[in-house]
Amino acid sequence: MSLEREERLASEIKDLLGSRAVEIKIQRIRSIFVTVKKEDYKESIRKVVDRFAITHLSTITGADSGQTIDVMPHFSYAGTKITFKSSVPKTAAEIDTLTDIIPGAVMYEREIHDLLGVGFKGHPTPERFILPDDWPSDVYPLRKEYKVVRPEPIPKT
């Protein structure tokens, strides 16, 4: 499998973002990971989206990496998955919203807010989405410190 196309795309992204791109990794054919700092997250995405006229955001993944939470929007550009990756500290879990660049991000950001407790600055409807209404507000089930407690087995009579 030739990765020529991916390499060309990666170098174009590198030229565009300059020092903002901390790391650009070609994971496999048609899949690129771009790591950016939290402060540069929105601006870098805006630049790439405008430059390549990207319209489709597949989803946003949130993942617990110990002290930080990775926020990873997956964009689709001519068949290639471009994944941005930005870490936010758990103590101040907040990042800029993408909803004004790609309105399709609304549901995905609400999902991450519910399950991992990352706030999205400027989100139009930051309401509860997946968890029940009576769920405690500071418990985030997809964080590693949340342990699933099995209910006590019913004793046999």
Partner 1 sequence: MPEFTVIVGPQHPALKEPESFTFWVDGEDVVRTQVRIGYAHKGVEKAAESRTYIQNIPFIERICGICNVAHTICYTQNVEYLYGRQIPRRAEFIRTIIEELNRIHSHLLWIGIAGHEIGFDTLLMYVWRDREVVMDLIEAMTGNRVSTALMTIGGVTRDVTPELATKIRKGLDILEERTKYYEKIVASESTMLARTRGVGVLTREEAIKHCAVGPTLRASGIKFDVRAEDPYAAHDEVPFEVITADTCDLFGRVVVRVYETIESIRQVRYCLDHLSSGPIRIRLPNTPPRGESVSRVEAPRGEDIHYVRSDGTDRPSRYKVRAPTLGNLAALVEMLTSKGDYNVHVADIPIVLAGIDPCMCCMDRTARFIEPSKDREWVWTWNQLKKYAKEK
Q: Identity (one letter) of the amino acid at 20?
A: R
> Tokens 């706030």 correspond to what residue?
119
Closest approach of partner 1 to the CB of residue 49, in Å = 12
108 lies in the site for partner 1, by CB under 8 A: yes
**Non-local CB neighbours of 135 within 8 Å, separated by 6+ positions:** 128
3-state secondary structure of 23: strand
User: Phi and psi of 96, rounded to 5°?
Assistant: -70, 150
Instruction: Find the DSSP H helices in 90-132.
Output: 106-116
List the interface residues with partner 1, window 38-77 (CB under 8 A).
Answer: 55-59, 61-64, 72, 74, 76
* Binding window for partner 1 (CB under 8 A); candidates: 8-16, 41-49, 98-106, 149-157: 98-106
> Tokens 């758990």 correspond to what residue?
90
35 lies in the site for partner 1, by CB under 8 A: no
Instruction: Give me the residues that bind partner 1 (CB under 8 A), please.
Output: 27-28, 30-31, 33, 55-59, 61-64, 72, 74, 76, 78-81, 83, 102-108, 111, 115, 129-132, 141-142, 146, 148
